[in-house]
Structure 1
């Protein structure tokens, strides 16, 4: 199954971000001919102050309903429907009362929402360069492990900081996942040292394809100070080999997630059957 992962440089202007996503997706569709397109984390609004984040957030329709959603939701739905592909919507800010959630939505080729995942692990740290991040000040945490089906393949959902918690990925593998999506907006210091090695580790442990669309470049935080995201969108195979990678800048990659490769690796090294703990 051919999958395209998009690398974006979003800021706080939602309309500009949607226009950027549209152009990049069209390029990926034209050159890569994917059956699934995946966007990065918080691509609709990265940075900005709390009112800006709430203004860009969307109240999502009830799961399983046919109700109309917000601008980003309907954009993702239309991309799926008009191109007869699955669309993994990276993550967007979901408004739920006075809280936001960092939420993934997935659409099938008919434009029907088939999966919704709220980020479980929130990024509350100080990075090596001294910058502080407190995602929980604005966002609530999810509590569900989520998979979906695409062309007969089980796919698992995760977001960014989730990558540091292998127990989530074990649960996704136990739920049958063969492909795991991880949209991200990794910081430069953590990305430079940990991004690729963590993605490879999760691929090796779960013997799954890892698809990691990422934000790249500069945006402004709530106080107007510049923040940098690492980028390096990549796709890794179940042996941990990086099969495609986007360098610095915006762009996309397309790779074929081959079920034959997955089956062979899992057959020859049946680590799930050998597991003694958990």
Structure 2
């Protein structure tokens, strides 16, 4: 399976973000012929405050129904290119709060998975900047996997990567590839981004596919920056593809023979089950 992780520099204008995503996906498909493409976290909106997030939000349809502009664009791309589309995350309009939600389409344009971000980003950054994702978003409560081409995919979003128990559970549920679409801050990204993703790959013996946003955006009159460096890591923890600064993508072939060999020679899952204790 070949995966392309798309790196965007999105802003607060939804239609401009949709246009940018389409151009990048079409270029990646023409150049690298991936089986699946992955978009960053909240690729339809970054910045602008509460109003722009609510304006970008979409009510996700029941199975077989018609969705909003981003939902239908992803479905159209999947059908037109004959590939699976991992929709990074978009802003879902809930009954009371918004949700940070991943949607996955197979090559027929059928939605095969939906995941709401479990761990919300309520932190104070190294420079004192506060982030309170829970002020707008509700937290998901379901761990989600799906299958594309016989390969089991695990779904996570950004801050989830700091919670290894989620990734261990995805491995136990059969994940071979774990997606981590992100808007990782510049200050934390330069120190933690690659280290955390490699750690999640090593401990789960899964491929990690992390599409990220890059560059600067405006948030309530202040300029904020996100790290980018979208990457794919193999089950041994090697970074096998990585995007540079700027908009673009990175593509890697995820070889199941590597997964099989790593898991055979170091049977972590079996050891974890055999040594599990109650603390």
Q: TM-score range by the shorter chain?
A: over 0.9
Q: Which residue of structure 2 lines up, in the alignment, with residue 277 of structure 1?
A: 276
Q: Deviations over 1:243-276 (max 9, x none)?
A: 0000110100110000000000000000110012
In the TM superposition, structure 1's runs of 4+ consecutive aligned residues that sit over 2 Å from their partners are: none
Unaligned runs of 5+ in 1: none
| Post-superposition offset of 1:277 | 2.7
Q: How many residues end up aligned between the 2 structures?
A: 275
CA distance in 1, matches of 2:38, 2:10: 15
Instruction: Name 2:226's counterpart in structure 1.
Output: 229
Deviations 1:50-82 (A, max 9, x none): 1211111000002xx111000000000000011
Equivalent residue, structure 1, for 2:241: 244
Q: What's the CA shift for 1:48? A: 1.3
SS at match of 1:140: coil
**SS of the counterpart of 2:181?**
coil
1:75-134 Cα deviation digits (max 9, x unpaired) = 000000111100000000000123100000000011000000000000000000111100
Match of 1:260 among 252, 257, 263: 257
The whole-number CA distance in structure 2 between the counterparts of 1:23 and 1:229 is: 21
1:144 Cα deviation (Å)? 0.6
> Cα deviations across residues 1-26 of structure 1 (Å, max 9, x unaligned)?
11000000000000000000011001
The aligned counterpart of 1:44 is 44
Give me the whole-angstrom Cα distance separating, in 1, the residues matched to 2:96 and 2:271: 45
Q: 2:82, 2:30 → 1: CA distance?
A: 14
Partner of 2:159: 161
Shift of 1:197: 0.3
In structure 2, the residue corresponding to 1:205 is in which secondary structure?
Answer: helix
Mapped partners of 1:48, 1:121: distance in 2: 22
Alignment of 1:126-205 (within 5 A): 126-205=124-203
- Aligned counterpart for 2:78 among listed residues 73, 77, 80: 80
Distance 1:112 1:35 in 2: 15
Counterpart in the other structure of 2:67? 69
TM-score, normalised via structure 1 length = 0.98
Deviations 1:19-48 (A, max 9, x none): 000110011001110000000000000111
CA distance in 2 between partners of 1:37 and 1:243 (Å): 16
CA distance in 1, matches of 2:47, 2:166: 27
Per-residue deviation, 1:224: 1.7
